[in-house]
Structure 1
């Protein structure tokens, strides 16, 4: 008998709770599934809806790519050099303890409205979870693997490519999954505070004019996109490039 995957019950459960909660409030305040999906159907044929999605995704992927590359480089250097790691640790602790959204007002003042401050928020949000995990991955590399490669004549570049990078990938991808979630939430919040477009701005502006069905559509869209990219992009990449090094 085929085993039941209990995840299939999550969506009906959420809809049931949603219906029960919406029944206690006026539709203009908290719309139920029927009004929300009617608004979603309307937005799916509206070009502006896709424009806001595109703006948010552009900011997300540019910022996340910059954060990932920088975190990989800095994390590898910190793993190789004890002195650089000691220099880096206080800064990582300081910035990681600061919510990324705390930087948003200052970044908007420095970089003006538009893509630049939103991308900067994403870089700050995603960089530190990734770099911390890369450093931890470097610290878990077995000395015997490094010595074996050196015995075989590996130079620094070969050591980094054939030993450090493969060994650190599982930890790095874990950091990327965490960093992606933080970056996505930070972007939406930043767009709500100082954006002029994007899903966060759409939710904020819709709430200000009392269009609660569109607010719910924006929230649902954010959740669906986050699940899509994590399940379709990040986890398959982790399985493809980091499945060979499980650690107990």
Structure 2
């Protein structure tokens, strides 16, 4: 039994009363990033690691400036970035307009669940490189196969998240809506969709992250530009400064989009975590 003595620290009342993990952590994240960068400067400046394995931050920054102006692998960094953004966000948009409706349909219909669930659960654990040869054989080596490969990787987590969101809807809310005369379509749109939005946004965040991780595999298919292609091409020549620069650029764009989705989530779902 938990005993509270006179020395026990009282819980601070507030917006969330005693919730584990409550409080702002942004300043801790900033300090962590600064500490890691400082460690990077220290390790490379002291010569503890050879530049081949870990180039200095200034070398990576110099490569960034060179890639922006002179280019790398026959294209500028802006051209590589635009090609990758087009592929990732094109696949993400296609997944949004297909995976979310399919996930909701799976949640409200046992027939749809029986049709799609085995397919999604079968290919979801497979790494994209496993079915990359089939994508090439079926669709060729143009631009669409690259987008399609990323799309497949994004589709599964988004559909599963949407289905999970439907299953999280309180049955009392559905019964109350029926009692007020709502139709089945109104139940799906006004009750189930709104209740499932938190899970859907979580699926979007997971999906876009998976999309960025699949980018390198997608750009192995006869690509001539793209961030993944740039990293792979640099790795063949042991240009670690270009590799790290490309990784940082990919990470910055992925993190920026994740922050955007978080902002939209707070804007569109202000009730999340309060009911």
Match of 2:7 in 1: none
Cα distance, 1:213 vs structure 2:
1.7
Match of 1:42 in 2: 66
Structure 2 Cα separation of the partners of residues 203 and 4 of structure 1: 30
Q: Is the 8 A contact 1:188 1:200 kept in 2?
A: yes
TM, length-normalised to structure 1: 0.89
Q: CA distance change for structure 1 residues 9 and 143 in 2, over 3 Å: closer, same or farther?
A: same
> More displaced, 188-197 or 78-87?
188-197
Structure 1 Cα separation of the partners of residues 129 and 263 of structure 2: 29
Match of 1:14 in 2: 36
Match of 1:170 in 2: 198
Q: Deviation digits for residues 10-69 of structure 1, max 9, x if unmatched? A: 222222333455433432443111111111122233462101100000011110111122
Aligned length in residues: 246
Q: Is the 8 A contact 2:128 2:217 kept in 1?
A: no
Match of 2:254 in 1: 226
> More displaced, 233-242 or 148-157?
148-157
Match of 1:26 in 2: 50
Structure 1, unpaired ranges of 5+: none
Match of 1:139 in 2: 167
Cα distance, 1:95 vs structure 2:
1.3
Q: Is the 8 A contact 2:41 2:57 kept in 1?
A: yes
Q: From 138, 146, 151, give the equivalent of 2:179.
A: 151
Match of 1:92 in 2: 120
Structure 2, unpaired ranges of 5+: 1-23
Larger helix share, 1 or 2: 1
Asked which structure has the greater CA Rg, the reply is 2
Q: Is the 8 A contact 1:108 1:194 kept in 2?
A: no
Does 2:108 correspond to 1:80?
Answer: yes
